[in-house]
Amino acid sequence: MSDVHTPEQRSRNMAAVRGRDTKPELELRRALHGLGFRYRLNVRTLPGTPDLVLPARNALLFVHGCFWHGHDCPLFVLPRARRDFWLDKIGRNQLRDRQHHDRLHDAGWRIGTVWECAMRGRSSPGVTATAATVERFLRSADCREMYFRDNGAHAGAGHPLSLAERFGSAQVSGSDEGNLDRGAV
């Protein structure tokens, strides 16, 4: 299937995709602020530039879009056009995410990843419920890593399946499958 847009139109569309201040991120920030949390935004000195950093709680949050980070949920649909390009692109995003998480863990940070599907979609618990679950994570000192998705929160190994596993690709170039997949939730 060929693209319905010209390369110039497609380039403009892709350039308009926001990397910060996305709707799910703004909704979560508003809810957490209402619960009394104060945070720093997009701290560039930390690996992966976390969306919210709560230094007093030694915690940080990433708000991931399900498409761009290859989440195994109904919101992720691999495009039919340029399939190899998208497998490679999203596979590299997943690998980079895992590397950033590893470096942040080594530095002693507690990491929460809030997936877009936790706040939108048919099976979503919604912003309020997700914020309440994130609040429990932030207030607990013993939880090291938490993933918030459409069917609730899960501790530990919550990175999505690698694209190679999900779509049967022999190789997602630029990725190291051993580091790409830490288990599915």
- Give 94-133 pLDDT, tens digit per residue: 999 999 999 999 999 999 999 999 988 887 888 999 999 9
Is the pTM above the cut of 0.85? no
Average pLDDT of the chain to the nearest whole number: 81
Q: How confident is the model at residue 149 (pLDDT cuts 50, 70, 90)?
A: confident
| Cα–Cα distances in angstroms (integers) from residue 29 to residues 14, 155, 178, in the given order | 25, 21, 33
Assign domain 17-180 to its CATH superfamily.
VSR Endonuclease (3.40.960.10)
Q: Where are the domains of the chain?
A: 17-180
Amino acid found at 76: F
Residues 6 or more apart whose Cβ sits within 8 Å of residue 131:
28, 31, 32, 34, 35
The tens digit of pLDDT for each residue in 71-102 reads 988 888 998 888 999 999 999 999 999 999 99
Confidence of residue 163 (pLDDT cuts 50, 70, 90): low
Other CB atoms within 10 A of residue 127 CB = 16
Q: How many whole angstroms separate alpha carbon 63 and alpha carbon 42?
A: 11
How many residues does this entry show for the chain? 185
